[in-house]
């Protein structure tokens, strides 16, 4: 059998390996964990620490939802103004908890394949140690009775966060610490940021004022 003889000769030939065509195996590049894909979409990281979460009923005979609770050492806002102004005050007071609800919703999407049933994050509560009458006070906020209402509310929060990040980038790119002038909150991080601008890199108006 000529085929057997050829095979035997190849086995004895020290150069047989070089004569035989080598097989190449194509492998898919492994994705590095913890790094987002370079798809042209700009991303930013938001973190938060939730003080407490409660299980609450939506109403008599209704299901159960989650309530995000945050403790406040300051004084509760006094809702003594017009309905429009009170609504604005409430939105500003609950903005932090709305961000928490958004983060929890995004985290739930990340683990949507889990067989464990997840609950909706519907209710928010602020617990203040004091108020205008020197007593502890709580404020409550309902993100919406339906999933569509809650999604719309949190989508607005997502858009506002994106605008905040865009504004921060514009301030850093412009190297203009004067943009922080007017902040009277000593605890604000902007007071630590201002000295970090490189000397000589701060934008200055031209001599002609244009």
Q: Please give the full DSSP string across 49-112, using - where no structure is assigned.
A: --SEEEEEESSTT--EEEEEEEEEEEEPP---S-HHHHHHHHHHHTHHHHHHHHHHHHHHHHTT
What's the token pair of residue 143? 């993100």
Which of residues 107 and 2 earns the better pLDDT score? 107
pLDDT exceeds 70 at position 31: no
Give the residue from 158, 161, 121 showing the smallest Cα distance to 141.
Answer: 121
200 lies in some domain:
no
Environment class of residue 158 by beta-carbon count within 10 Å: exposed (0-12), middle (13-18) or buried (19+)?
A: middle
Domain assignment of residue 61, yes or no:
yes
Q: Which strand (E) or helix (H) includes residue 165? A: helix 147-174
In a domain, 150, yes or no: yes
pLDDT of 164 reads 83
Sign of the alpha-carbon dihedral angle for 109, 107, 99, 91: positive
Give the integer Cα–Cα distance in Å for 95 and 103: 12
Which residue is listed with tokens 């002609």?
208
As a whole number, mean pLDDT of residues 199-206 equals 53
56 forms beta bridges with: 65
pLDDT at 47: 81
Give the DSSP H/E element, type plus range, for residue 140: strand 137-142
25 domain residue, yes or no? no
Residue 2 resides in a domain? no
Which candidate, 133, 76, 66, places its Cα nearest to that of 105? 66
Whole-number pLDDT of residue 178: 65
Asked if residue 18 belongs to a domain, the reply is no
Residue 150, domain extent: 52-170
Better-scored residue on pLDDT, 17 or 76: 76
- Name the percent of the chain in helix, strand, coil, to the closest 5: 40, 15, 45
Residue 4 lies in a domain: no
In terms of pTM, does the model score above 0.75?
no
Count: domains in the chain:
1
Question: Encoding tokens for residue 70?
Answer: 């945050």
pLDDT tens-digit series, residues 118-146: 788 899 999 999 999 999 999 999 999 89
Give domain status of residue 11, yes or no.
no
Provide φ and ψ at 203, rounded to 5°. Answer: -65, 135
Three-state DSSP class for residue 6? helix
């Amino acid at each position: 059998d000529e085929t057997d003889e050829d095979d035997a000769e190849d086995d004895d030939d020290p150069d047989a390996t070089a004569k035989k065509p080598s097989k190449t195996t194509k492998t898919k590049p492994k994705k590095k964990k913890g790094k987002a894909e370079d798809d042209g979409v700009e991303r930013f990281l938001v973190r938060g620490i939730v003080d407490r979460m409660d299980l609450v009923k939506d109403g008599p005979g209704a299901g159960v939802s989650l309530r995000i609770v945050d403790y406040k050492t300051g004084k509760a806002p006094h809702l003594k103004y017009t309905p429009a102004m009170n609504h604005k005050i409430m939105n500003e007071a609950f903005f932090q908890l709305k961000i928490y609800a958004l983060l929890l919703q995004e985290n739930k999407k990340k683990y949507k394949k889990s067989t464990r049933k997840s609950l909706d994050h519907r209710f928010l509560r602020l617990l203040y140690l004091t108020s205008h009458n020197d007593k502890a006070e709580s404020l409550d906020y309902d993100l919406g009775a339906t999933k569509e209402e809650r999604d719309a509310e949190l989508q607005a929060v997502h858009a506002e966060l994106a605008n905040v990040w865009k504004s921060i980038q514009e301030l850093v790119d412009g190297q203009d610490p004067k943009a922080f002038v007017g902040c009277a909150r000593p605890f604000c991080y902007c007071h630590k940021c201002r000295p970090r601008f490189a000397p000589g890199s701060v934008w200055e108006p031209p001599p002609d004022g244009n």
